[in-house]
Structure 1
Amino acid sequence: QGLRNHGNTCFMNAVVQCLSNTAPLAERLALGRYRTRGARAEVTHRLAALVRALWTRDYTPQLSAEFKNIVSKHSSQFRGNAQHDALEFLLWLLDRMHEDLGAASPAQQTRGPQEVSNPPGVAAHPGSGGRCLGQAWERGSWNVLGGSGTGAHPAPVSSLTCPHCLKQSNTFDPFLCISLPIPLRQTRALNVTLVLQCERWRFVRVGLAVPLLGTVADLREMVAREGCIPPEQVILAEVSPRGFLRSLGDKEELGSAGEGAPLYAFQPPPARRAGCPRSLPASPGVARPEGPRLPPATARSSDCLHRGPGGRILLLLCNTAGAGPQLARFGPPLVLREERGISWEQLQQSILAQLRALLRGEVRAQGTGALFRIRLAGGSAPCIYLSPQDPRPLCHPAIDRALQLSGAGGPPHVKLTVEWDMSTKERLFGNIQEEVVQDAESVRLQQQAHRQQHSCTLDECFQLYTKEEQVWGTPH
């Protein structure tokens, strides 16, 4: 039940509600199981009447107004309608109740404090007259409600053990109030679009609960389990409506993953896909280029032909159309394995073969010329284009540089953007937009779970507060 605000008394109402929902205290106040030191215990009596009314649903605004007036009578700092700190008022109220409740309650008089032995290696509390720490804590835990009147407060022990000599140092820290840390949520929801290999390309968006302090390697493992594929075959990349942004390496932190653009996880094609023409072979793996020095970005692939055109390369492709603000991606992103020694015409026909299901009509296999431009996406040189006149465009030195910068963890790959002019795109594909992605049930479940307000128990806060820590220092 709520309390009436009598002019900036929200700090007071908040404290009363907290005390009213502290079961042991509320029970004693509501049932009158306390004994005051003298006849003048107005603050405690008014608080007890207010708590009793809240639990019996007999509350009226007059009760909270009377409690405010009594507080103002005994403390000049809380007079008027100024706003105050709730913790400051709580400490004042507990101290006032401690003064009002000086004699032990009947329940406490019939039952003395429980004898609690010290933990092994813990000495008695200094100044406690030989009483053990458990007795001091027990007395301090009920003195507000009419305890022993000794003024003892809880005194937790903080133990520090040297890992070398095993010497233990115990420190007692009496307190009236304690600030507990609140356990925070350790995960966040992240959607990842899986691009899986099957009879046809399949796009499935899944929802994952990724660790806040994890790395991309953790995400790669989670994606691999979702897609039932080995982690070393997962390629993680951010794909925006305008094309590729970047690939993710295993050592990167997960904090910014997926914030710049939607996150995609690609499964490379197998060694040989069913139905692929023999002129477009594939390999199970791609070796990283070796050599400590790379040619400059201005070199042509003909400058590197002495290395030999052997080996296959993994390509990630996005198709875009338009220019400037009108630039937009269309169709699904593609994953291909190609021989590095193929010509521009062979590469173009391989890309068209992947887009055959989207074409409005047949495209001649020979003599079509360059239908598009191919640009290296991402990296430090985003404006490098492969030349149609280059006999082996995939042997360009910028391709070697992109392979080295593709990130550790997944297979080495190169991101390419296929740029179409609008007239050619409309003639061949019509008004096609981005790929259609199916949402798995995990997307809704993870969003719902992380949208809910995070809650924790008081016991979890104490567990975090008393969690053992390892402190590194100089051995003595």
Structure 2
Amino acid sequence: MSVETQETSEDGKEAAENEDQTSAPRSAEEGASDSEGGFTESPRNPAGLSRTPTFSETMSGTESSAPSPTVLLRVKKRVSKRSRPSFRSVGKLVQKMVRHMSLFSQLQSKETSTVGSSSPRESVVSTEDSGTQRNSVIFSGGKLPVPGLSGLRNHGNTCFMNAILQCLSNTDMLAEYFVLNQYKSDLSRIRRWRDSTRLKPVTRGEVTEDFAKILKALWSCQYTPKLTSDFKNTVAKYASQYSGYNQHDAFEFLLWLLDKVHEDLNCASKRGYKKAKLGHKKSSDEHLAAEAQANHQRCNSSFMYDLFQAQYRSSLTCPSCHRQSNTFDPYICISLPLPQRQTRAIYPAVVYHRRKPRNTRIGVSLHQDSSVGDLRKLIADKADIPLNQLVLTEIYFDGFQRSFSDDQPLSVVHDGDCIYAFEAPLEVTDLSCTNDDTPVPATSNSQDPEQEKLLLLVVNKTGAGKQGKRFGPPFALHVPRNLTFSDLQKVLLHSMADMTREGIRPQGSVRFQMRVVGGLAGKCYLTEDDNMCLYMPTVDKALSGCGSGGMEHVKLVLEWEQETKACLFGNTCEEKVEELDSVRQQRTMQQQPLNVTLSDCFRLHTKEEKLGPEDGWHCPFCKKVQHGTTKKLSLWSLPDILIIQLKRFKQVGMRRMKLYTSVDFPVSNLDMKPHVARRNPGNSGGLGLLTSWSPWRRHQHRTAARHPDYFYDLYAVCNHHGNMTGGHYTAFSKNPVDGRWYKFDDTKVLGVSDEDVQTSDAYILFYQSRSSRMGSLSSTSGSSTCSSLSDHWVNRIPNLLPRSDGSSHDDTSDTEDHGGFSGDSRPFVRSVHGMSASVRYPSSRSQELLSDGWDSGNYSDSEADKASNMTESRV
């Protein structure tokens, strides 16, 4: 389901052209690049909006002619400069109380008199509040576009960037800090300090300024693709890996962006850390944590770290004295491993020597920590083959690849590898008895126990080297090593008699090349120049690489010319492998969903682990290097905004793979208390330093550190779709204004339900603590009353204005061009190029909105079905 960017109607275009000819306002690009925050001087009205009615006109139902909003804005700015009331707080309180009481009474009367009415109301009031211009939005109708609902243009594989920007844009406190220019004071302070100390700026604040412009444009409904294009270029300027159009990891970009903005806004005056004190003897964890935080804050003090950062506690336990040493380090994100099945299913193909069918595939399951030797024993038991006669190897379309040793871990066998288990014959091939007309010379001592023998694993293929394709079933044979080149070819042809075409027997000398896998580089072919070709150095080299497990063997690839192959073997292709019931049973078991919760991931993350023998640790108590130390990681404190990465990308050897495990994470009421380290209630010293990472004024309302809030609510999710070779990023975000969930897919915006947020593609989770949300006086996204929503910081955006009736959709009856919506059923949401875009909400969604005044739109099931057919090609 998607939301397509729609073109404005012809009337809207004419209205915009007339407005450009008369008033000639600045373009969106010019406004977005304004150094003071990217807003235009006059309220931008790209959809041809009518004049905003005053509060008295709205309530009375009449409108009178009045100066334009631009004139009113300039006049009120001049008035605000001339007069500033002395009773600022008292006047503000009285006006607020009067306004709220009036609104409640009017809204209550409207509810009782217009139940079931479909006619929306809208009203925007511009009031003088202590000399400050403010736009107060009255949430009483369905007319205003919801702020923050704008798609972002994909500038060539920038979906990872768009998804992260949408998640950060819906971080309420972060958006307020940038959209209302609160970051300007920090940026100016650090610039003045650098000028006074003559320090050369590192980034000049360009990344932060461009990031702020995007947030302002999203929340003022003035986004243009030029903003994200400029942002991408600025990012590439300071991080060359993001230049061009390659795919990137969204989590890595998030870490880079947070660190870069922190670097721009870092107000710390020190640039060096103090030497850490050893407090393992008498100091409590509380004192150690406070000192570590103070030392870190000495060089790192910014709003970004204040919002996202907290502390880890790392504990090492000595295996000798059993005493514990603790250290404390900061973190801004938590990377959680995903629990996986403790068993693995492997499906090897078994190649029997004489049994029918000769090639079968079986399914076996064993523990993740098993070895290749364990796998070989299990296959031998299931296939009823003596263990000393079983050889494991790997075969692909071009021939043999690896052989395995018993001492190797099972992890060397990857999912999807083509594993073959050969039954090695004990008897040597009889050279004196063949069925063709050219008998193979008999070797009198072929069964002599003193004679050196060699096990050959053989496959056939057309073409040479890496070219061509394998055909026919693989097979194994035991031969004397003293065979000549000609005799070896005759033995191999005799072993393939059942593969040749009926009635066709090789006459004379049939030529094919024999390549030894794992032999000497450049000398891997057996030649007839050596009378005893199996004693060539390349054969010795191949034997040395067999390793332990099964009989020593040589992997031999017979390379045929296409004409000769067609004459002898016809259209023989790859072998047919018969699958036994064990394959189906194991696949059914593996397809059963693995129930994983977020708490399971946390428990795995904080699980004790024993360090390896190579990881020596100097115990501060024993004064000696200890091995076998136990390490445990735990959370010591929690931030306001908790970012959790689900580690879906796993490195296995030289390969990277994606884990599609579905994780059940709570949308609300995430309880972090079980995952935070327990503290000693008697040691309260230093707790005062743990209340905040920096003295930003918002945190004067935070809960005291001795009574922390462990509950968090989800507000954004970054998703990764696809696999390691190609993927796409989208985002789910909960709008802080209307409290609804939306899906952001580049330029497309779609309303979704709470249940739709939990998917197996979830990659990065964004949580906000209850204490930070409730402690903020200006962020009231959790409230449901009309008056409290009027206090949301979004109402202080200078040019957040309503639109006139009919500006949300094109006046045309062609529903296909509208993505399945027609007439008044299309809501208004700002999108790319400042055009309108359709947003559909699930029909099962409750219609009780937190905000009545934002344009949200309600659709029937039939309209939803039409909208579900919309598609958009991705840039």
Q: Check whether the contact 2:353–2:423 (CA below 8 A) recurs between aligned residues.
A: yes
Matched residue, 2:397? 241
Do residues 406 (structure 1) and 562 (structure 2) align? no
Distance 1:400 1:380, change over 3 A: closer
Q: Answer whether contact 2:455 2:476 (CA < 8 A) is retained.
A: yes
Displacement of 1:463: 5.5
SS in 2 for 1:387: coil
Mapped contact 2:407–2:548 kept (Cα < 8 A): yes
Whether the 8 Å CA contact 1:358–1:429 is kept in 2: the answer is yes
Say which SS state the counterpart of residue 427 (structure 1) adopts. helix
8 Å contact 2:148–2:170 — kept in the other structure? no
Name the aligned partner's letter for residue 393 of structure 2: A
Instruction: Give, in angstroms, the shift of residue 258 of structure 1.
Output: 5.3
Aligned CA distance change for structure 1 residues 284 and 455 (closer, same or farther; 3 Å): farther
CA contact (8 A) 1:321 1:328 kept: yes
- CA distance, structure 2, for counterparts of residue 259 and residue 388 of structure 1: 41
Q: 1:191 corresponds to which letter in structure 2?
A: Y
Q: CA deviation at 1:391?
A: 2.4
Where in structure 2 are there 5+ consecutive unaligned residues? Answer: 1-138, 140-145, 150-165, 174-284, 287-312, 329-333, 435-441, 623-875
The aligned residue for residue 311 of structure 1 is 452
| Counterpart position of 2:618 | 474
Instruction: List aligned pairs for 1:353-372, cutoff 5 A.
Output: 353-361=494-502, 368-372=508-512
Higher mean alpha-carbon deviation, 419-428 vs 184-193, is at 184-193
SS in 2 for 1:198: coil
Compared CA separation, residues 87 and 414, structure 1 to 2 (3 A): farther
Q: Distance in 1 between matches of 2:448 and 2:578?
A: 28
- What residue is the counterpart of 1:267 in the other structure? 423
* 390 and 160 in structure 1: CA distance in 2 versus 1, 3 angstrom threshold: closer
Q: Is the aligned partner of 1:444 residue 2:584?
A: yes
SS of residue in 2 equivalent to 1:368 = coil
Partner residue of 1:345 out of 456, 469, 486: 486
- Where 2:546 maps in the other structure, the secondary structure is coil
TM-score normalised over the length of structure 1: 0.53
Counterparts of 1:457 and 1:440, CA distance in 2: 35
Return closer, same or farther for 1:363/1:393 CA change in 2, 3 Å cut-off. farther
Question: Do the aligned residues in 2 keep the contact of 1:372 with 1:419 (CA within 8 Å)?
Answer: yes
Distance 1:407 1:260, change over 3 A: farther
Could you say if the C-alpha distance between residues 421 and 277 of structure 1 is closer, same or farther in structure 2, counting changes exceeding 3 Å? same
Cα distance between partner residues in 2 of 1:282 and 1:200: 27
Does the 8 Å contact 2:394/2:400 carry over to 1? yes
**Amino acid paired to 1:353:** H
How many residue pairs were aligned? 328
Shift of 1:219: 2.9
Q: In 2 relative to 1, CA 88–232 (structure 1 residues): closer, same or farther, beyond 3 Å?
A: farther
Which deviates the most, 393-402 or 79-88? 79-88
The whole-number CA distance in structure 2 between the counterparts of 1:199 and 1:180 is 49
Q: Quick check: 343-352 or 266-275, which moved more? A: 266-275
Aligned to 2:536: 396
Secondary structure of 1:385's partner? coil
How far the C-alpha of 1:166 sits from its partner, in A, is 4.5
Give the distance between the partners of 1:340 and 1:382, measured in 2 at CA.
22
Contact 2:428 2:480 in 1 (8 A): no
Specify the SS of the correspondent of 1:378: coil
What SS class does the counterpart of residue 618 from structure 2 fall into? coil
Q: 1:184 aligns with which of 319, 340, 357?
A: 340
Secondary structure of 1:386 counterpart: coil
Does residue 431 of the first structure (1) align with residue 571 of the second (2)? yes
Of the three residues 366, 380, 387, the one matched with 1:224 is 380
The SS at the match of 1:409 is coil
Aligned match of 2:358: 202
Question: Any unmatched runs of 5+ in structure 1?
Answer: 1-71, 73-78, 91-124, 127-156, 173-177, 286-308
Deviation of residue 246 (structure 1)?
Answer: 2.6
Query: Structure 1 counterpart of 2:389, which letter?
Result: Q
Question: What is the Cα deviation at residue 444 of structure 1?
Answer: 2.9
- What whole-Å deviation, never above 9, does each CA across 1:10-39 have from its counterpart, x for those lacking one? xxxxxxxxxxxxxxxxxxxxxxxxxxxxxx
* C-alpha distance in structure 1 between counterparts of 2:532 and 2:374, whole Å: 38
Tell me the distance in 2 between the aligned counterparts of 1:284 and 1:189.
42
* Residue identity opposite 2:618 in structure 1: T
Query: Does the 8 Å CA contact 1:244/1:378 hold for their aligned counterparts?
Result: no
Question: Matched residues in 2 for 1:168 and 1:376: separation?
Answer: 57
Give the partner amino acid of 2:360: V
Does the 8 Å contact 1:196/1:203 carry over to 2?
Answer: yes
Please give the alpha-carbon distance, in whole angstroms, between the structure 2 residues aligned to 1:201 and 1:386: 32
Alignment-mate amino acid for residue 485 of structure 2: W
Q: Pairwise mapping of residues 319-330 of structure 1 onto structure 2 (< 5 A)?
A: 319-322=460-463, 327-330=468-471
- Quote the Cα distance in structure 2 between the aligned partners of 1:333 and 1:246: 15
Which AA in structure 1 matches 2:399? G
Closer, same or farther in 2 for the Cα pair 1:89/1:192, shift >3 Å?
A: farther
3-state DSSP of counterpart to 1:474: strand
Cα-Cα RMSD: 5.2
User: Does structure 2 retain, via aligned residues, the 8 Å contact 1:375–1:386?
Assistant: yes
Q: Deviations over 1:150-179 (max 9, x none)?
A: xxxxxxx9997643334578999xxxxx99
**What is the distance in 2 between the residues matched to 1:283 and 1:428?**
31
Q: 1:264 is paired with a residue of what secondary structure?
A: strand
Q: Which of 595, 612, 629 is the matching residue for 1:455?
A: 595
Q: Give the Cα separation in 1 of the matches to 2:584 and 2:414.
A: 17
Paired AA for residue 205 in structure 1: R
Q: Distance in 2 between matches of 1:379 and 1:212?
A: 32
Q: Partner residue of 1:420?
A: 560
Does structure 2 conserve the Cα–Cα contact (< 8 Å) formed by 1:245 and 1:261? Answer: no
- Identity over the aligned pairs, expressed in percent? 37
Q: Report 1:294-309 matches (<5 A).
A: none
Q: Which amino acid aligns with 2:498?
A: A
Deviation at 1:376, TM superposition (A): 1.2
Instruction: Name the residue aligned to 1:376.
Output: 516
Whether the 8 Å CA contact 2:519–2:539 is kept in 1: the answer is no
> Cα offset for 1:236?
1.7
State the AA in 1 paired with 2:391: I
Superposed CA offset, 1:47-98 (max 9, x none): xxxxxxxxxxxxxxxxxxxxxxxxx9xxxxxx954766799889xxxxxxxx
- The CA distance in 2 between the partners of 1:239 and 1:251, in whole Å, is 20
Which structure ranks higher in relative contact order (CA pairs < 8 Å, sequence separation ≥ 6)?
Answer: 2
Q: Find the aligned partners of 2:572 and 2:169 in 1 and give their Cα distance.
A: 60
Aligned to 2:803: none
Letter in 2 for 1:341: N
Q: Give distance in 2, aligned partners of 1:250 and 1:230.
A: 15
Answer whether contact 2:431 2:491 (CA < 8 A) is retained. no
Contact between 1:190 and 1:258, CA under 8 Å: does it hold in 2? no
Deviation at 1:313, TM superposition (A): 0.4
Q: Check conservation: 1:270, 1:284, Cα contact below 8 A.
A: no
- 1:419 Cα offset (Å): 1.8
User: In structure 1, what residue type is equivalent to 2:482?
Assistant: G
Q: Is the Cα–Cα contact under 8 Å of residues 375 and 383 in structure 1 kept in the other structure?
A: no
**Residue equivalent to 2:477:** 336
Tell me the distance in 1 between the aligned counterparts of 2:318 and 2:462: 66
The answer to whether the Cα contact below 8 Å between 2:514 and 2:559 also exists between their aligned partners in 1 is: yes
User: Please, which moves more after superposition, 266-275 or 407-416?
Assistant: 266-275
Cα displacement string for residues 273-294 of structure 1 (whole angstroms, at most 9, x for unaligned residues): 8999495898899xxxxxxxxx
